[in-house]
Structure formats: C-alpha cells, structure tokens
Structure 1
Amino acid sequence: MGSSAVAGFLACAGLIVAIGAQNAFVLRQGIRREHVAVVVTLCTLSDLLLVAVGIAGLGPLVSSHPAVLTATRWIGAAFLLWLAVAAVLRARHPERLDPATEGPSTLRAVVGTCLALTFLNPHVYLDTVVLLGTLAHQSPAPWAFGVGAVLASATWFAGLGFGATRLRPLFARPRAWQVLDLAVAAVMAALAVVLVVG
C-alpha cells in the first residue's frame, strides 16, 4: 500500500512539474500575493476530483469519446490564445504593471480563470483521468496510488503558489512584470498551438 502511494506521488509529480498554463497562472498569482490559498486549493481539489474519476473507471469512457476531447481542445486553445493576447497587452505598458498600482483581480475572476485553465485543457483529462487512472489499476492498491498522486499535486501547487510569494522583491520593478507577462504569453500561445495541431 505504501509503495502504491509512492508510485502515485512520483507519477503525478512527473506529469505536473512542467511549465504549463495552469502553473504559469499559479506562479503569477503567487508573485502578486493575490488569492493564493484559493488558487492552490482549487488546483488541488480539481486534481483530486479528476484522479478519483479516473480510478473509479471513467478513463476508458473519456478516451472513447474523441468528439468531446476535440471540442475541449478547440475551446481550450481559444481560451489560451485570449490569455496570451491579454498578457502581451499588459506587457506593452510596463508602467501599469507595478503591483502597487495595478488593480487587484476579483476573487470571481481569479476562480473563473483557474477553473477554465484546468477544465478546458484536454491534456488534464488524458493525464489525470486516463493515464493516472490506468496506472492506478496497475498497482496493488489503486486508491493508495490516488492518495499519493493527490499529495504530489497538493505539494506542488502549495510550493509553487506560496513559494512564488518570496519572489515579490524581484518583481518590484515593472520591467520584471513585463518579462514575466511576455513569458506567460509565449507559454499560452505555444500550448494553444500544441492543442490545435494535436
């Protein structure tokens, strides 16, 4: 049982520790010190839900409906492109990016963006529901595997979100925010292209 949990932790860590739209968003919110606990909690609970669904046996159901994944792929790509354009527009005016003067995002907007970045990404379903769900059933204790996977998710998002708050001094200047937003825009645009081309 312990080995299954460790296997789940390592499998999820291998999938989640990568530069992606969700991670870029968590990083930005952490640096801004804005609704960080809510974002970390939402990301972790979303992974908990998706991993549980996969272990419960819905992975084959998801993979057997390619039309749903295709629709999600196009919607997700459009959303990522919209976020990329928004980041570029912010970066064009670095004088407005000082966190002391930039208006705070509302909790509703942050929650909506976080959920969209999670559930409009078809790779999330492939990674958590299909892949982790399948791997879980290859281990002696599938639900222990799931617990390990969710612990990896919680550890990663908490470390990324709350750890990013320590980077705030590096982002005291608007130019640093400009660089971050351009990097975020590049990541979002690249992921949108990847989704479109499959």
Structure 2
Amino acid sequence: MITPALTGFATAFALILAIGAQNAFVLRQGLAGAHVFPLCLLCALSDAILITAGVLGFGAIVALYPMLPQIMAWGGAAFLLVYGALRLWAAWQGDYALQIAGQTAGLWATLATGAAFTWLNPHVYLDTLGLIGAISTQFTATGAKLAFGIGAVSASFVFFFSLGYGARLLAPVMTSARAWQLLDVLIGLVMWALAFKLLS
C-alpha cells in the first residue's frame, strides 16, 4: 500500500505546486495572518472532494458535457479579471494600514473568495477529476486505489497548511506598505495572466 499512497501524494503535490490564483490567495492571507486555518481547511477539503470523485471514476462526467470546460473557463476568467483588478486598484491606492496590522476581510468573505478560487477554476477539475482520476486507474485493487486516494488527499492538506502557515516566515518582510503594494501588483498581474490563459 506504500507505493500507491506515495504515487498519489507525489501526483497531487506536483499538480497543486504550480503557482495559481488559489495559492496566491492563500499566501496573501498567510502573510496577513488572517483566517489561515479555515481557509486552508476549505481548500484542502475541496480538493479532497474532487480527488475522491476523480478516483471513484466521475471524471467521465466531464466527457459527457463537452461545453462544461468552456463554461467554467469563462466564469473563472471573469472572476480572475475582477479580482486582479481589485488587487491592482489596492496597490494603486497604497493604503495598507489594516494589512500591516494583520486585519483583512471578514471570515465569510475570505471563505467565499477562497471557494471561488477553488470551484471556478476549470484546471482544478482537469487535475483532480481528469489527471488524478486517470492515474488512479493503474491501481485496480480496492485497497491500492484507496491508498492512492488517501495519499493524494494528504498532499493537499500538507501543501495548503504549509503554504498558509509557512507564509508567516515572510512576515518580517511585509511590515511596510511598499511590500504589500508590490505583492498586490504581482498577484494582480498573475490573476490577469491566468485569466487570459483561460480565454486563449
């Protein structure tokens, strides 16, 4: 059972590791030290649901609805364009007194944004329902398939909590408005780049 578990862990970790909108948002919240645990838990549980669905074979659903990826791409791109614009606007204004003090949006607003980054991202369905689901088919025995799924889900929990709480190591750097300004410019440009990639 060790081999399928390690395969699942390595596969999921490699897919999540790519810099994306969700990771950038978790990093930003981690730097602010606000709602880190519930946000990381939301992201990891969302991945767990999708990974489980992929391993159980529901990746075929996407094949039944060929327009679904395109619809998700449009919705995800629209969300990324708006969020990117908000980050660039915040950088333009340059008022980061609340962030420096460790205050950000409320819990429910943070979780809603985190959920949008997760569930409106068409790539998450490709990664979890498609790629992870496809790789899991090499393990035909129930125990091995279960071990693969547990390994993949574990990777998601390890990654998001490491990112969220590991961001605090950069906290000493984020003590000026200028640092937050640069971070928001970077995040805003990444969001727009991802949005245009979805639309292309």
How high is the TM-score relative to the length of structure 1?
A: 0.95
Runs of 4+ in structure 1 off by over 4 angstroms are none
Q: Would the aligned equivalents of 2:90 and 2:184 in 1 still touch at CA under 8 Å?
A: yes
Q: Would the aligned equivalents of 1:136 and 1:143 in 2 still touch at CA under 8 Å?
A: no
Q: Which residue of 2 aligns with 1:97?
A: 96
Q: Would the aligned equivalents of 2:85 and 2:188 in 1 still touch at CA under 8 Å?
A: yes
> Is 1:44 paired with 2:47?
no
Q: Which residue of 2 aligns with 1:54?
A: 54
Alpha carbons of structure 1 residues 40 and 103: separation in structure 2 relative to 1, 3 Å: closer
Q: 2:196 aligns with which of 175, 185, 193?
A: 193
What fraction of aligned residue pairs are identical, expressed as a percent? 43
Name the SS of the counterpart of 1:138 in structure 2: coil
Q: CA separation in 1, counterparts of 2:20 and 2:9?
A: 19
Q: CA separation in 2, counterparts of 1:6 and 1:103?
A: 38
Q: Which residue of 1 aligns with 2:17?
A: 17
Q: Which deviates more, 36-45 or 132-141?
A: 132-141
Q: 2:161 aligns with which of 154, 158, 161?
A: 158
Q: Which residue of 2 aligns with 1:125?
A: 125
Q: Would the aligned equivalents of 2:100 and 2:176 in 1 still touch at CA under 8 Å?
A: no
- After superposition, what is the alpha-carbon deviation per residue over 1:115-157, rounded to whole angstroms, capped at 9, x for unaligned? 0000001100000011101111113512211111111111111
Alpha carbons of structure 1 residues 31 and 175: separation in structure 2 relative to 1, 3 Å: same
Q: CA RMSD in A?
A: 1.2
Name the SS of the counterpart of 1:66 in structure 2: coil
Q: Which residue of 1 aligns with 2:180?
A: 177
Q: CA separation in 2, counterparts of 1:182 and 1:130?
A: 32
Q: CA separation in 1, counterparts of 2:8 and 2:137?
A: 11
One-letter amino acid of the counterpart of residue 116, structure 1: A
Q: Would the aligned equivalents of 2:33 and 2:102 in 1 still touch at CA under 8 Å?
A: no
Structure 2 residue runs of 5 or longer lacking an equivalent are none
For these two proteins, the number of residue pairs brought into alignment is 196
1:68-83 counterparts in 2 under 5 A?
68-83=68-83
Q: CA separation in 2, counterparts of 1:35 and 1:163?
A: 14
Alpha-carbon distance, 1:63 to partner = 2.9
One-letter amino acid of the counterpart of residue 157, structure 1: F
Structure 1 residue runs of 5 or longer lacking an equivalent are none
Q: CA separation in 1, counterparts of 2:136 and 2:148?
A: 6
How high is the TM-score relative to the length of structure 2?
A: 0.94
> Is 1:146 paired with 2:149?
yes
Q: CA separation in 2, counterparts of 1:100 and 1:177?
A: 8
- After superposition, what is the alpha-carbon deviation per residue over 1:161-197, rounded to whole angstroms, capped at 9, x for unaligned? 0000221110000000011001101110010011111
